[in-house]
Amino acid sequence: MNEKDLNIALPVLTDDLLKALNQYFPERTPDINMEPKEMYYRIGQRSVVRFLIQKQKEQSENIMEKK
């Protein structure tokens, strides 16, 4: 299932929330000694943070369009 198949409204995503998630799950290059399972797990965590950042941008654009 891809994102276009889902039409789920998210709650308002705040700057504080995304800042905290960026601190917990920072964008970084995986360590060469990391097991593949751990690497994929961390990549998945970061993927969710990037998804939420994009959704916040879309929410902001929608607010601006309504004004």
In degrees, rounded to 5, the angle at the alpha carbon of residue 16 between the alpha carbons of residues 14 and 20 is 120
Q: What total of structural domains would you count in the chain?
A: 1
Report whether 49 contacts 21 (CB < 8 A).
yes
User: Which token pair is 62?
Assistant: 């929608």
Per-residue model confidence (pLDDT) at position 3: 57
Domain range for 15 is 9-66
Question: Once rounded to an integer, what is the mean pLDDT over residues 12-35?
Answer: 95
The one-letter code for the residue type at 47 is S
Residue 38, in any domain of the structure: yes
Residue 3, in any domain of the structure: no
Q: Is the pLDDT of residue 67 over 90?
A: no
Question: Once rounded to an integer, what is the mean pLDDT over residues 23-50?
Answer: 94
Residue 2, in any domain of the structure: no
Q: Is the pLDDT of residue 24 over 60?
A: yes
Residue 18, in any domain of the structure: yes
